[in-house]
Amino acid sequence: MTERKATVKRETKETTISVFVDIDGNGKDEMRTGVRLFDHMLSQIARHGVFDIKVSATGDDVHHLVEDVGIALGKAFNEALGDKKGLVRIADATVPMDETLAAVAVDLGGRGYSVLNMEFENNDLAGFPADMVRHFLESFAAEGRLNLHAGVAYGTNDHHKVEAVFKALGRALDKATRIDHRIADRVPSTKEWVE
Protein backbone atom coordinates (compact mmCIF):
# COMPACT_ATOMS: atom_id res chain seq x y z
CA MET A 1 0.00 0.00 0.00
CA THR A 2 1.30 3.45 -0.86
CA GLU A 3 1.86 5.97 1.88
CA ARG A 4 -1.28 7.97 2.56
CA LYS A 5 0.27 11.35 3.29
CA ALA A 6 -0.14 14.83 1.87
CA THR A 7 1.13 18.35 2.39
CA VAL A 8 -0.95 21.32 1.26
CA LYS A 9 0.21 24.92 1.29
CA ARG A 10 -2.17 27.82 0.76
CA GLU A 11 -1.11 31.44 0.59
CA THR A 12 -3.41 34.38 -0.07
CA LYS A 13 -3.32 38.07 0.79
CA GLU A 14 -5.18 37.11 3.97
CA THR A 15 -3.52 33.89 5.18
CA THR A 16 -0.48 31.64 4.98
CA ILE A 17 -1.31 28.01 5.70
CA SER A 18 0.69 24.77 5.70
CA VAL A 19 -0.98 21.45 6.51
CA PHE A 20 0.50 17.95 6.68
CA VAL A 21 -1.66 14.84 7.10
CA ASP A 22 -0.61 11.20 7.53
CA ILE A 23 -3.74 9.05 7.46
CA ASP A 24 -1.84 6.06 8.88
CA GLY A 25 -0.18 7.99 11.68
CA ASN A 26 -0.21 7.59 15.45
CA GLY A 27 -2.31 10.56 16.55
CA LYS A 28 0.55 13.04 16.76
CA ASP A 29 -0.46 16.65 16.39
CA GLU A 30 1.31 19.96 16.04
CA MET A 31 -1.09 22.87 15.73
CA ARG A 32 0.04 26.48 15.44
CA THR A 33 -2.76 28.77 14.31
CA GLY A 34 -2.45 31.46 16.96
CA VAL A 35 -5.98 30.63 18.19
CA ARG A 36 -5.54 28.32 21.17
CA LEU A 37 -9.07 26.92 21.22
CA PHE A 38 -8.94 26.20 17.48
CA ASP A 39 -5.60 24.40 17.96
CA HIS A 40 -7.22 22.36 20.73
CA MET A 41 -10.13 21.37 18.48
CA LEU A 42 -7.88 20.47 15.54
CA SER A 43 -5.89 18.28 17.94
CA GLN A 44 -9.09 16.34 18.66
CA ILE A 45 -9.25 15.26 15.00
CA ALA A 46 -5.65 14.01 15.12
CA ARG A 47 -5.87 12.28 18.48
CA HIS A 48 -9.27 10.65 18.07
CA GLY A 49 -8.73 9.86 14.39
CA VAL A 50 -5.21 8.55 15.08
CA PHE A 51 -3.87 10.73 12.25
CA ASP A 52 -0.62 12.66 12.32
CA ILE A 53 -1.56 16.27 11.55
CA LYS A 54 0.58 19.40 11.51
CA VAL A 55 -0.96 22.81 10.92
CA SER A 56 0.93 26.07 10.72
CA ALA A 57 -1.24 29.09 9.98
CA THR A 58 -1.22 32.85 10.20
CA GLY A 59 -3.90 35.24 9.04
CA ASP A 60 -5.34 38.70 9.21
CA ASP A 61 -8.42 37.62 11.19
CA VAL A 62 -9.99 34.54 12.75
CA HIS A 63 -12.61 34.14 10.01
CA HIS A 64 -10.11 33.90 7.15
CA LEU A 65 -7.73 31.77 9.21
CA VAL A 66 -10.35 29.16 10.17
CA GLU A 67 -11.82 29.03 6.67
CA ASP A 68 -8.43 28.57 4.99
CA VAL A 69 -7.31 25.92 7.47
CA GLY A 70 -10.55 24.06 6.69
CA ILE A 71 -9.84 24.34 2.96
CA ALA A 72 -6.21 23.17 3.28
CA LEU A 73 -7.01 20.35 5.72
CA GLY A 74 -9.82 19.09 3.47
CA LYS A 75 -7.53 19.12 0.43
CA ALA A 76 -4.80 17.33 2.37
CA PHE A 77 -7.18 14.55 3.46
CA ASN A 78 -8.49 14.12 -0.08
CA GLU A 79 -4.98 14.02 -1.57
CA ALA A 80 -3.70 11.61 1.10
CA LEU A 81 -6.51 9.15 0.29
CA GLY A 82 -5.21 8.80 -3.28
CA ASP A 83 -7.34 6.60 -5.53
CA LYS A 84 -9.54 5.55 -2.57
CA LYS A 85 -9.27 1.86 -3.40
CA GLY A 86 -10.28 -0.37 -0.52
CA LEU A 87 -11.68 2.41 1.66
CA VAL A 88 -14.40 1.60 4.15
CA ARG A 89 -15.62 5.02 2.91
CA ILE A 90 -18.74 5.57 5.06
CA ALA A 91 -18.71 5.78 8.85
CA ASP A 92 -20.16 7.55 11.83
CA ALA A 93 -19.37 8.24 15.47
CA THR A 94 -21.34 9.44 18.46
CA VAL A 95 -19.42 11.09 21.28
CA PRO A 96 -20.61 12.11 24.75
CA MET A 97 -18.87 14.87 26.67
CA ASP A 98 -20.41 15.39 30.08
CA GLU A 99 -23.93 16.77 29.42
CA THR A 100 -23.45 16.91 25.64
CA LEU A 101 -23.98 14.31 22.93
CA ALA A 102 -22.70 14.90 19.38
CA ALA A 103 -22.72 12.74 16.26
CA VAL A 104 -20.88 12.92 12.95
CA ALA A 105 -21.37 10.80 9.82
CA VAL A 106 -19.05 10.96 6.79
CA ASP A 107 -18.96 9.55 3.27
CA LEU A 108 -15.62 9.90 1.46
CA GLY A 109 -17.30 9.30 -1.90
CA GLY A 110 -15.95 12.37 -3.68
CA ARG A 111 -18.90 14.74 -3.26
CA GLY A 112 -18.43 17.74 -0.98
CA TYR A 113 -21.57 18.47 1.04
CA SER A 114 -22.35 19.30 4.66
CA VAL A 115 -25.43 19.32 6.84
CA LEU A 116 -24.87 20.80 10.28
CA ASN A 117 -27.42 20.79 13.09
CA MET A 118 -25.90 22.55 16.08
CA GLU A 119 -26.82 25.55 18.15
CA PHE A 120 -24.65 27.58 20.48
CA GLU A 121 -25.68 29.86 23.33
CA ASN A 122 -22.71 32.21 23.12
CA ASN A 123 -20.65 33.13 20.07
CA ASP A 124 -17.39 33.72 21.93
CA LEU A 125 -15.36 30.71 23.05
CA ALA A 126 -12.13 32.22 24.40
CA GLY A 127 -11.48 34.22 21.23
CA PHE A 128 -12.82 31.52 18.90
CA PRO A 129 -16.28 32.41 17.54
CA ALA A 130 -18.64 29.43 17.80
CA ASP A 131 -20.11 30.21 14.37
CA MET A 132 -16.66 29.47 12.91
CA VAL A 133 -17.21 25.79 13.76
CA ARG A 134 -19.87 25.66 11.07
CA HIS A 135 -17.68 27.53 8.59
CA PHE A 136 -14.69 25.24 9.24
CA LEU A 137 -16.77 22.08 8.77
CA GLU A 138 -18.36 23.39 5.54
CA SER A 139 -14.94 24.32 4.10
CA PHE A 140 -13.41 21.02 5.18
CA ALA A 141 -16.23 18.99 3.60
CA ALA A 142 -16.23 20.96 0.34
CA GLU A 143 -12.48 20.72 -0.24
CA GLY A 144 -12.19 17.23 1.22
CA ARG A 145 -14.83 16.11 -1.26
CA LEU A 146 -16.81 14.32 1.41
CA ASN A 147 -20.32 14.32 2.80
CA LEU A 148 -20.26 15.47 6.41
CA HIS A 149 -23.33 15.46 8.62
CA ALA A 150 -22.82 16.70 12.17
CA GLY A 151 -25.24 17.41 14.95
CA VAL A 152 -25.45 18.10 18.64
CA ALA A 153 -28.39 16.16 20.08
CA TYR A 154 -28.28 18.03 23.37
CA GLY A 155 -26.00 19.92 25.72
CA THR A 156 -25.66 23.21 27.54
CA ASN A 157 -21.94 24.02 27.53
CA ASP A 158 -20.77 25.40 24.17
CA HIS A 159 -17.16 24.26 24.69
CA HIS A 160 -18.39 20.71 25.29
CA LYS A 161 -20.60 20.86 22.20
CA VAL A 162 -17.75 21.98 19.95
CA GLU A 163 -15.24 19.55 21.40
CA ALA A 164 -17.64 16.59 21.13
CA VAL A 165 -18.22 17.43 17.44
CA PHE A 166 -14.47 17.56 16.69
CA LYS A 167 -13.87 14.29 18.58
CA ALA A 168 -16.72 12.64 16.68
CA LEU A 169 -15.30 13.94 13.39
CA GLY A 170 -11.93 12.39 14.19
CA ARG A 171 -13.46 9.04 15.11
CA ALA A 172 -15.75 8.94 12.06
CA LEU A 173 -12.84 9.79 9.75
CA ASP A 174 -10.70 7.14 11.42
CA LYS A 175 -13.27 4.46 10.62
CA ALA A 176 -14.03 5.72 7.09
CA THR A 177 -10.35 5.94 6.06
CA ARG A 178 -9.55 2.36 7.06
CA ILE A 179 -8.76 -0.16 4.35
CA ASP A 180 -11.11 -3.12 3.93
CA HIS A 181 -8.74 -5.77 2.58
CA ARG A 182 -11.64 -7.67 0.99
CA ILE A 183 -11.96 -4.84 -1.55
CA ALA A 184 -8.40 -3.52 -1.54
CA ASP A 185 -8.19 -3.62 -5.34
CA ARG A 186 -11.30 -1.57 -6.06
CA VAL A 187 -13.06 1.67 -5.25
CA PRO A 188 -16.05 1.18 -2.91
CA SER A 189 -18.71 2.36 -5.37
CA THR A 190 -21.20 0.87 -7.81
CA LYS A 191 -20.27 3.70 -10.20
CA GLU A 192 -16.72 2.37 -10.63
CA TRP A 193 -15.75 6.05 -10.83
CA VAL A 194 -12.61 7.08 -12.60
CA GLU A 195 -11.10 10.46 -11.79
What tens digit of pLDDT does each residue of 32-81 get? 999 999 999 999 999 999 999 999 999 999 999 999 999 999 999 999 99
Q: pTM for this one?
A: 0.93
Angle at which helices 131-144 and 158-176 cross, to 10°: 10
Pairing of the two strands 147-154 and 113-117: parallel
Name the burial class of residue 24, with classes exposed (0-12), middle (13-18) and buried (19+) by CB atoms within 10 angstroms of its CB.
middle
Does a structural domain hold residue 190?
Answer: no
Domain CATH code at residue 144? 3.30.230.40
Does a structural domain hold residue 165?
Answer: yes
82 contacts: CB under 8 Å, gap ≥ 6? 2, 4
Q: What's the pLDDT band for 187 if we cut at 50, 70, 90?
A: confident
Does a structural domain hold residue 189?
Answer: no
Number of domains making up the chain: 1
Query: Which domain does 100 fall in, by range?
Result: 5-183
Helix (H) or strand (E) holding 139: helix 131-144
Does a structural domain hold residue 103?
Answer: yes
